């Protein structure tokens, strides 16, 4: 049975159509806006500060494994930025993207980035920025609009949402770090999946831009609806998600269709997207 919508609440309000959300180890959160804003949100959601602005359109954000900087996808500027969380200095990390959409850190500190490709064309790919800031094509695809991305629980695979598949693909990580076998992990018919996150038990959660819901996919690939909002107000075009909260058992969703971050009480601990192996 899906969770009742009463398990969801508005955590932070007043953002400019946030597409992304990332949790920091200190309990705070980071999100972006459609006019280039980078927001820091307090652990209780009551304080929202714009700490930087790229002048672009922010898609995915990810906290580095050491917690010292933020990686940022910028749709309008077609690049990935780095933001030092101490000095708040913003620097361009890499260029050469069509649609830099979302990113995930590997245990060695390298960064996987989805390059979605053109709208309604199957030409997405997965890029990688190594520790020397060199940009490489990790997997040429083609993917059907590569979107959200996450490293699997065992650090042995990359999971990427392909919005127009629609579903999630899995690409094994070879021992030398190169891309291995590619397979369809799960299909989610009549939906536009966008973001994803794992819990500590290996369950995968997938947000959908439409319909306004979150799916749960077990390690056995059983698909069910975690939570649904047919009115699309509490969940309004939910895009990226991240676990957080005091006990790391709450799921936070960015809502591109509105101005808030939604908090879902899961009572299930999440698996951090950025962690050292």
Reported as a single tens digit per residue, the pLDDT across 225-256 is 999 999 999 999 999 999 999 999 999 999 99
pLDDT at 273: 61
Work out how many domains the chain is built from and give that number: 1
Cβ(110)–Cβ(64) below 8 Å: no
CATH number at residue 54: 2.120.10.30
Query: Is 184 within the bounds of a domain?
Result: yes
Distances (CA, A) of 39 to 53, 76, 136, 193, 199: 9, 18, 29, 24, 25
What is the bridge-based pairing of β-strands 124-129 and 135-143? Answer: antiparallel
Query: Is 271 within the bounds of a domain?
Result: no
Query: Is 274 within the bounds of a domain?
Result: no
Query: Is 137 within the bounds of a domain?
Result: yes
**Below-70 pLDDT ranges, the chain:** 273-277
pLDDT at 107: 85
Query: Is 14 within the bounds of a domain?
Result: yes
Query: Is 87 within the bounds of a domain?
Result: yes
Cα distance between residue 37 and residue 215, in whole Å: 29
Q: What is the pLDDT of residues 176-215, one digit of tens each?
A: 999 999 999 999 999 999 999 999 999 999 999 999 999 9
Query: Is 72 within the bounds of a domain?
Result: yes
pLDDT at 274: 55
Domain containing 90 equals 5-265
pLDDT at 277: 43
Half-sphere exposure of 167 (CA within 13 A, CB side): 13
Query: Is 275 within the bounds of a domain?
Result: no
What is the full DSSP assignment across 28-60?
-EEEE-TTSEEEEE-TTS--EEEEEE-SS-EEE
Cα distance between residue 98 and residue 47, in whole Å: 34
């Amino acid at each position: 049975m899906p969770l009742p919508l009463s398990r969801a609440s508005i955590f932070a309000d007043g953002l400019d159509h946030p597409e992304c959300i990332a949790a920091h180890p200190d309990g705070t959160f980071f999100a972006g806006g459609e006019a280039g804003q980078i927001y820091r949100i307090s652990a209780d959601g009551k304080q929202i500060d714009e700490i930087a602005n790229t002048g672009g359109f922010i898609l995915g954000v990810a906290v580095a494994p050491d917690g010292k900087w933020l990686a940022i996808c910028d749709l309008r500027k077609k690049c990935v930025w780095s933001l030092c969380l101490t000095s708040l200095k913003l620097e361009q990390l890499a260029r050469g993207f069509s649609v830099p959409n979302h990113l995930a850190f590997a245990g060695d500190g390298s960064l996987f980035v989805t390059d979605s490709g053109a709208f309604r064309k199957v030409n997405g790919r997965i890029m990688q920025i190594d520790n020397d800031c060199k940009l490489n094509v990790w997997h040429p695809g083609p993917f059907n609009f590569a979107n959200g991305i996450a490293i699997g629980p065992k650090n042995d695979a990359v999971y990427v949402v392909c919005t127009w598949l629609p579903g999630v693909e899995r690409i094994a990580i070879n021992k030398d770090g190169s891309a291995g076998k590619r397979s369809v992990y799960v299909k989610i018919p009549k939906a536009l999946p966008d973001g994803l996150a794992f819990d500590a038990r290996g369950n995968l959660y997938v947000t959908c831009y439409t319909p306004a819901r979150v799916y749960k996919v077990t390690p056995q690939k059983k698909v069910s609806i975690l939570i649904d909002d047919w009115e699309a107000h509490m969940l309004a075009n939910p895009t990226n998600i991240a676990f957080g909260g005091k006990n790391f058992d709450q799921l936070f969703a960015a809502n591109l269709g509105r101005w808030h971050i939604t908090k879902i009480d899961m009572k299930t601990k999440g698996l951090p997207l950025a962690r050292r192996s």
